Structure 1
Amino acid sequence: MNRRKGFLEFDSELFTAFYVAAILWILNGGFNKGGYRLLDCTSTPVPKNAYESFNKTLYGKFGALMSLETTARKEYLKEHVPEAIHMDLAVGTYPRLYQAYTMYPPELFQKYMRRLGINTSDVLILYGRGDLHGMLYSCFTAYLLKAFGHEKVSVLDGGFSQWRKHGGEVTKEVPNLPEGNWKASLENSRIISYDELTKCDKAGNDLFDRIGSVNWLDARPRGQFLGEQPTGLDPQSVPGSCIPGSKSTPVEELFVGGVLKPVDEIRKWLIECGYERGKPTIISCGRGLHASVLAYIVDYIDPSMKPRVYVGSLEELENKNPMKISGGKICAR
């Protein structure tokens, strides 16, 4: 909803407040009617060593993955917003050696979305809980959906905690929806791969060498960027705490009182962090999560920026090319 122009323009709003969601629920007679779907994006971190067992037994097996009694699933079953469908990032992506959250091929991800009952024409409203005021997994999921071509996505500002804070109703009842007709269409302009980053130009320079030609934003906490806090990187192989030439833009600084700061404040903050208008924007973090949150917010305040997320982020660089992380200083895990 565009809060300045009225309820009917809801589709164009990337973030929505509690009261907008509540109005939609009341006027529409429920979320899963009239072309809307509500998604609970509760998830839990993927262990770094999960890829071997996962790829042998669970890759693409969404029925089995959705039936696992994970911590995230238990949280959802304990209580959620009425009519919310559980969409778990740990089910919708898969772990690889160098990347915790890897996008499935479109034809596989499409199967998961259809199992959830999602249709191509649906307006999707996402909420989460936990880190970044419930925005970490919901914003990552929203950006993932946009990368697969679904633009009609909105995220509940402040997540499940804001819903509860304002007296929103909760339930244990799990909705049963018919299989959807959702179709994936990969949108590569929203993501960037290691191969593209390391592709050399005629002069033999890759994008790391030409980093001044882009806004490379690092969404991790500032202390990690500077090497003043544990980074999770291996100090035996990684000579620093950040990519030289990248700019510290901690996404955690964009929230106050459990919700997103005003747009004008975020624009000012970006400039203060070193963002230069007119340059392409690449965003990274540790494992791709915080980068996707920042990309989603950036896309919200200025769609012309067209940020691209390096989903593999520093975890992939640590394993493939650790010398690229030579800025800042070495910090123990």
Structure 2
Amino acid sequence: MNLFVDKEWLLKNLHDRVRVVDCSFSLADPTKGRQEYDKNHIPGAIYFDLEKDLSGDVGEHGGRHPLPNFEEFINKLEKAGIDSTTMVIAYDQGEGAFAARFWWLLQYLGHEKVFVLDGGLRGWSEGNYPLTSEVPVLKKATFKPNINHDLLANMEEVKAVSGGQVSNTILVDSREEKRYLGLEEPIDKKAGRIPGAINKPWFEGLNAGYYKTAEVQNQRFSDINPENDVIVYCGSGVTAAPNFLALKAAGFEKVKLYLGSFSDWISYQENKIE
């Protein structure tokens, strides 16, 4: 499954009917991504902020990066000249998670012509490709969503899998091993994992911002039957997105994202932690 474009392809197609979206962000400094976009970005790129555009307001449940308000999100897509047929290329600084989050959101809205720039802005810059500080003015489009509910898992579904009421579904924890094991938890109020989950750290699917080949991804997930349903999660539904892409690239068809992830799971006092 082709989910990525390389910088050479994008350079050749910058002036065609392609929309580029800069998703650069820093969890340590939420203003950094926008500041870096204002300094330098790929020509024609529009900026989407993880917390302001790709996430909604944080509440009692839903996790630290819940689903955005889709009316507002779609309005911004339309202002960026994106309709239901536009080819969209998302990138971030090269970490992979923020562009993957945007990619997943468009897929969830039923937009299939969305891809991730492999290597991100880092790879683009290393190729000495053009950068600009100019913010494009684009003609407004009309975006008609067609929600793909099969891509999203909610807490009750995850709870049924974790509790053994649902078979043939694998829970994949995408966080680093020490958080998965509960040895360290720098962000969330509780440490540990959703019972029954296996660990596949998301960053092991990339190499310096570039996604590893489908063959390597298949090796990473070789202990998972491709016939099984797979639900990926992380701390707040952001770094699980690269694992979602990696699984899709490896040929897994039945993959869902638990978008609320561990931060949503622990917001329900009755939920068990392993």
Query: Normalising by structure 1, what TM-score?
Result: 0.75
- Residues 226 and 196 of structure 1: CA distance in aligned 2, closer, same or farther (over 3 Å): closer
Aligned sequence identity (%): 24
Which letter does structure 2 place at the counterpart of 1:208? S
Match of 2:13 among 20, 24, 49: 24
Match of 1:250 in 2: 201
Alignment partner of 1:126 is 2:90: yes
Whether the 8 Å contact between 2:57 and 2:68 is mirrored in structure 1 is no
Alignment partner of 1:298 is 2:253: no
- Residues 261 and 283 of structure 1: CA distance in aligned 2, closer, same or farther (over 3 Å): same
Q: Give 1:155 deviation, angstroms.
A: 0.4
Match of 1:221 among 142, 160, 176: 176
Q: Give 1:112 deviation, angstroms.
A: 2.1
Q: Please give the root-mean-square deviation of Cα atoms over the aligned residues, in Å.
A: 2.2
Whether the 8 Å contact between 1:127 and 1:134 is mirrored in structure 2 is no
* Structure with greater helix share of residues: 1
Q: Give 1:223 deviation, angstroms.
A: 1.9
Aligned-partner Cα distance in 1 for 2:28–2:260: 14
Q: Give 1:212 deviation, angstroms.
A: 5.2
Q: Which runs of 4+ in 1 moved over 6 A?
A: none
Q: How many residues are matched?
A: 270
Aligned-partner Cα distance in 2 for 1:212–1:223: 27
Alignment partner of 1:309 is 2:270: no
Aligned-partner Cα distance in 1 for 2:186–2:163: 23
- Residues 80 and 119 of structure 1: CA distance in aligned 2, closer, same or farther (over 3 Å): same
- Aligned residue for 1:289, secondary structure, equals coil
- Aligned residue for 1:73, secondary structure, equals helix
Higher relative contact order (CA 8 A, sep 6+): 2
Match of 2:233 in 1: 284
The aligned runs of 1:129-278 (5 Å cut-off) are: 129=93, 133-198=94-159, 206-210=160-164, 213-234=168-189, 238=190, 241-271=192-222, 274-278=223-227
Q: Give 1:197 deviation, angstroms.
A: 3.3
Choose 1 or 2 for highest CA Rg. Answer: 1
- Residues 212 and 227 of structure 1: CA distance in aligned 2, closer, same or farther (over 3 Å): farther
Which letter does structure 1 place at the counterpart of 2:127? H
Q: Deviations over 1:31-79 (max 9, x none)?
A: xx3x3111111234399xxxxxxxxxxxxxxxxxxxxx94322211110
Structure 1: 5+ residue stretches without partners: 1-11, 48-68, 199-205, 328-333
- Aligned residue for 1:95, secondary structure, equals coil
- Residues 262 and 197 of structure 1: CA distance in aligned 2, closer, same or farther (over 3 Å): closer
